[in-house]
Structure 1
Amino acid sequence: MTMAISSRLDTARVLATVLLPTLAKGVIVRRPGVMALAEKLQSDGTAISTMRHLRDRYGPEPVRLRITGRSVAMLVDPTDVGRLLTQSPEPFALATKEKKAALNHFQPHGLLISEGADRERLRDLNERALRPEKFDVEPIVRDEADLLTRHVMSTGELTWDSFAQAWWRIARRIVLGDSARGDTQLTDDLKALRQNANWAFLHPQQRDLRERFERRLAEYNPELPDQVPHWLFAFDAAGIVTMRALAIGARGAHGILESARLWPTTPVILRESTIATRWHGTWLPENTEFVVFTPFFHRDPDRLPFADRYAPEIWDQARDPAIVPFSAGPGECPGRDLVLATAGAMLDALSEHLTFPKLTEPLPATLNHFALRLPATAVGTRVS
């Protein structure tokens, strides 16, 4: 049997409503202007509708798009997501052509695009280096959260800009040490490199900027400078998740997981097959790029009764193979536990002193964190 191929119209619909809007928002670093437009249009809701259409018309097997010169298949079945992630990196490689082109801008020797024995070595190194018990997270978070709380109480609201400044101080202190607390130039350089990475193949690499960034990084961490950009990259996404969690009244690690389920910071997971693979009785060729559009699997109203509400209780239940806020399988984020510890501590530290109004349900499909302005009141304050 041969794999179902989407019609030209459906391929165009996937490109126009799923893949291109995701690229436009920025897959490596978010673009504020595009995020504002995406929230206004609720573009993720449209994308989820498109994916539901694909599943209903072509599923349950992966749906191959009509793209000249490239075999691309969209997954529509949750079980298939579990298989794809579990069977990585063989026969489903993590280091896809597109991922290499993007990450080469700022981390050419990182775990995410390594292969073979190098990948096994770097995976083990990252897992050991990022164990939460190796970091003094709690006092760092409380120190910076206290400063942020005082600022918020003086202004009456929490904005993304004020939160992000505190969050990056936390990230630099945890990853690089207290001496890096005020080194905004370091993270500004990384942001510039990541903005280039948004364009992948289409933007020339700024080698001078990358070398300057790497030299500065090596001053703080001479042992692992080629791995640290990935850690800082992950902390950026964690900050976005934490700010959104505050907007829904979330607490602790389960609240962070729910924020990442509702608004995934990795909206597209890519894998590339190293051999021909069989799916639901049909075959897809070697070098097929498989695409997991995570907002669909996290917010599918046909499958999930809690799709559009804050539901921290689901994290005490058996794990859904397609709800993967930190990916899953051998490619799961090695810093998952460190991120959860840091972000959960930040939620709890702020919530001890401040209360914020919660977003009403059903929760929006697209939430622009840049525009969040959360009015704040001191805990215990009576509102008449």
Structure 2
Amino acid sequence: MPTKALPTASALDTARLLLGVFLPTIAKGPIIRRPWAVGLAARLDLDTKSVDLVRAIHGKYPDGPLMLRVPIRRQAVVLAPGDVHTVLAQSPDPFSPASSEKRAALSHFQPHNVLITRGPERTVRRALQEQVLDTDSPVHHLADRFVPVVEEEMGSLLASATSTGSLPWGDFLDAWYRVVRRVVFGDHARDDTELTALIIRLRKDGNWAFLKPVRKATRRRLLQRIGEELARAEPGSLASVMAAAPTADGVDPVQQVPQWLFAFDPAGMAVFRTLTVLASHPGAMAAARTEADGDTTGRRVLPYLRAAVLETLRLWPTTPMILRQTTAPVEWPAGLMPDRCGVLVYAPYFHRDERNLANAHAFAPERWLTQEDDGWPLVPFSDGPVVCPGRHLVLLVTSAALATLVSDTDFTVAAGQDLDPGRPLPGTLDNYSVTLGVAPRAAAAS
């Protein structure tokens, strides 16, 4: 007896999802954000509308995953929490993270990266990433090197911002890139803006995936520069750990590095957004300062500030679309999902579900310090066997940055969106439009 097919959305509902969810998310930039599109999404509240649309579609098609009527490829959307766990727990096989769209986008700057690799090569590339990034350790073994770098660059940024009384996004981003270059390559790369410009140019092309030819000469130049950095491998950098690690055939260490530069970029966005929320939420700021002031770990273990970053990523995920592609047909209770089928988890739908998530539209870092939401798919770093291998390192660096920023400085939101703690937070936070007012901390100055 033939296996039944999964439920399929009508042509109208498919169009609604494509226009109301896919298009706004892609327009904002899947590989590097387009500021104008983020600003437009914030003004029109497009992300809130996208979540509402997915909720309505899920109500209409409660059994899933849901197949869409698209002409080019087979595509499914995951709408139930249990199905999210199934997809992420069974990655990379049969749900491969190397989807066609992701491969087309990331090939612009890292065609042999683990994220878009399948088979045995993926295994060895993933093992190398986990070794270098200390995936299983909450505190990276080079924390004694990385934390002072963060403190120094954030301190320099604060000195400049205090003198002018303001901190716009662009100034923060420049300082953050200095942190990233020093963590990845060492102190000598602090001011190597050319290297950052190379990957930004290619990431902008990656936003267009299949629709834009690869700049092969620029990509070759980027990878050559990374190869040179690995060859010099300054002690105390991620590059030095990579260079010292044993490698197997097919690992291609050079092409595993661009992802670090890529991933640390949205981490900086998370820091600035968290700082913006803290500036408008006195209770959360007080809790952050209490932890920073009482810290005895050298800013290596900051549970509340790590939770604050996670909460910001829940509210405004920097990877809103988690993509997978089946490597074989998959049997679900509702029917059969075909081979080479694209699978989409739209994270904001689950992150903002007030029906199942307490204070879904509020900033509540405490949720990450309890088991209150255990089992619900809050997936700021994805989950399962292909969870982001650098999640602990990102949280180490971002929480140390926040501790440095809030310890002796008062912040206000001088320009940008209103983040009233007494009202639901917006579906989009346009960090590009935010300017923070900066002054010495009143308590510290008295």
Gaps of 5+ in 2: 135-139, 232-242, 244-252, 279-283, 289-304, 414-418
Q: What is residue 320 of structure 1 aligned with on the other side?
A: 375
SS at match of 1:305: coil
Structure 1 residue runs of 5 or longer lacking an equivalent are none
Q: CA deviation at 1:382?
A: 10
| Residue 216 of structure 2: aligned partner | 207
Superposed counterparts of 1:346-357, under 5 Å: 346-357=401-412
Q: Conserved in 2, the CA contact under 8 Å of 1:141 and 1:345?
A: yes
8 Å Cα contact 1:177/1:220 also seen in 2: no
For residues 278-304 of structure 1, give each alpha carbon's deviation from its aligned partner in whole angstroms, at most 9, with x where no partner exists.
223322211111100111111112221
For the 8 Å contact 2:147–2:400, the answer to whether it is kept is: yes
Which deviates more, 307-316 or 342-351?
Answer: 307-316
Secondary structure of 2:436's match?
strand
Deviations 1:27-66 (A, max 9, x none): 0000011111111011100100111011111024111111
Residue 338 of structure 1 corresponds to 393
- Residues 245-260 of structure 1 mapped to structure 2, 5 A cutoff: 245-249=274-278, 251=288, 252-260=305-313
Q: Partner amino acid for 2:265?
A: D
Q: Distance in 2 between matches of 1:119 and 1:332?
A: 14
Match of 1:68 among 68, 71, 78: 71
How far does residue 148 in structure 1 lie from its aligned partner after superposition? 0.6
Q: Secondary structure, in 3 states, of the residue corresponding to 2:254?
A: coil
RMSD: 1.5
Residues 220-272 of structure 1 show CA distances to partners (whole Å, capped at 9, x for unaligned) of: 12343221100010000100111111011164111110111010000100111
**Aligned residue in 2 for 1:133:** 141
- Alignment partner for residue 16 of structure 1, among 3, 16, 19? 19
Q: Which moved more, 1:61-70 or 1:217-226?
A: 217-226
Q: Counterpart of 1:272 in 2: which secondary structure?
A: strand
Distance 1:382 1:339, change over 3 A: closer
- Secondary structure (helix, strand or coil) at the match of 1:357 reads strand
Between the aligned partners of 2:444 and 2:217, the Cα distance in structure 1 is 55
Of 384, 398, 401 in structure 2, the residue corresponding to residue 329 of structure 1 is 384
Residue in 2 that maps onto 1:194: 203
Encode CA deviations 1:1-20: one digit per residue, 9 max, x unaligned.
Answer: 33211111111110111001
| Contact 1:127 1:334 (C-alpha < 8 Å) held by counterparts | yes
Native 8 Å contact 2:75 2:342 kept in 1: yes
- Contact 1:81–1:321, Cα closer than 8 Å, also in 2: no
Matches for 1:13-52 after TM superposition, within 5 Å: 13-52=16-55
Q: Is the 8 A contact 2:408 2:444 kept in 1?
A: no
- Between the aligned partners of 1:161 and 1:338, the Cα distance in structure 2 is 23
| 1:161 has 2:170 as partner | yes
Residue number among 178, 181, 184 corresponding to 2:193 in the alignment: 184
Q: Could you say what secondary structure the match of 2:356 adopts?
A: coil
Contact conserved, 2:7 with 2:63, CA < 8 A, in 1? Answer: no
CA displacement at 1:321 relative to structure 2: 4.3
Native 8 Å contact 2:51 2:349 kept in 1: yes
Q: Is the 8 A contact 1:247 1:374 kept in 2?
A: yes
- After TM superposition, list the pairs within 5 Å mapping 1:111-122 onto structure 2: 111-122=114-125
CA contact (8 A) 2:328 2:339 kept: yes
Describe the superposition over 1:170-203 as per-residue Cα deviations: whole angstroms up to 9, x where unpaired: 0000001000000001001100000000000110
- Cα shift at 1:275: 1.7
Does 1:275 find its partner at 2:304? no
> What is the CA–CA distance in structure 2 between the aligned matches of 1:20 and 1:219, rounded to whole Å?
39
2:255 alignment partner, SS class = coil
- How many Å separate the matches in 2 of 1:162 and 1:50? 36
Report the Cα distance in structure 2 between the residues aligned to 1:320 and 1:377, rounded to whole angstroms. 41
In the TM superposition, what is the alpha-carbon distance from 1:381 to its structure 2 partner?
A: 5.8
Q: Whole-Å Cα distance in 1 between the matches of residues 72 and 111 of structure 2?
A: 26
Supply the distance in 2 between the matched residues of 1:2 and 1:34 (Cα, whole angstroms).
Answer: 37
318-327 vs 188-197, which moves further: 318-327
Hey, what's the Cα distance between the residues in 2 that align with 1:357 and 1:77?
39
Aligned length: 383
| Cα distance in 1 between the residues matched to 2:113 and 2:152 | 31
Tell me which moved more, 349-358 or 67-76: 349-358
| Residue number among 258, 273, 286 corresponding to 1:229 in the alignment | 258
State the alpha-carbon separation in 1 of the partners of residues 17 and 329 from structure 2: 24
**Native 8 Å contact 2:169 2:431 kept in 1:** yes
- Answer whether contact 2:362 2:425 (CA < 8 A) is retained: yes
Task: Give SS of 2:93's match.
Answer: coil
Q: Distance in 2 between matches of 1:340 and 1:205?
A: 32
8 Å contact from structure 1 (residues 36, 368) kept in 2: yes
2:9 is the counterpart of 1:6: yes
